[in-house]
Homo-oligomer: A and B are copies of this chain.
């Protein structure tokens, strides 16, 4: 009976610690979502203050990844969780890697915005594509919080629409270049920004894949 109480107690502590880690992942996800939203806004409004704010914020994202990684190592070493809980911790470790890379992309978009867009507007509107990926990231984090596999599957499929939207932008940009080759450098910059945004959809899809494999 005492042993049972002890086990329940230990399992209670483990659950509380795991819950804490999951909350931290949600916080990190929220920050990355905000970074991405700000990056897209900074790019469009040629807002160098906001771009610098995102670049500065990326350090916080990186620090959060390291802290959560460390918390995962600690909980495994201290609580020796069962295989099913370990799998969840694996999902967390892989998910935050992807989140950190999405943060890197927001950072990269802002650096490009500062270098290239400060004195010239973008040739195409990337707001819709950007908003689409922000929504996908939001939904994937929400599905993670609820561990909802069915939703994860819907979100996984959503990436196809982002790919189609991106293809449309590439075609649009190609016509600019064909009409006036002097636009080529500007078009390429817009193209790489669009590509970065489109790849965020792939990363959200990766996160969904982790759920499918481990849950």
Contact = CB atoms under 8 A, between A and B. Distances in A.
Contacts of A81: 77
B174 A184 contact: yes
A66 interface: yes
Contacts of A90: 69, 72-73, 93
Given A76-B86, A80-B80, A213-B66, A174 B185 contact: yes
A187 to B, nearest CB: 9
Interface string A172-186: 001001100100110
A170 B195 contact: no
Contact of A73 (B69, B83, B178): B83
Nearest to A178: B181
A82 interface: yes
Q: How many copies does the complex hold?
A: 2
Nearest 5 A/B pairs, CB to CB = A178-B181, A77-B83, A80-B80, A73-B86, A177-B184
Interface residues of A, number: 29
Contact of A93 (B83, B93, B174, B178): B93
Given A94-B97, A174-B184, 5 more contacts: A73-B90, A77-B86, A80-B80, A97-B97, A177-B177
Contacts of A181: 177-178, 181
A138 interface: no
A188 interface: yes
A195 B196 CA distance: 11
A74 interface: yes
Contacts of A174: 184-185, 188
A116 interface: no
Interface in A21-79: 66, 69, 72-74, 76-77
A112 B54 CA distance: 34
Contacts of A72: 90
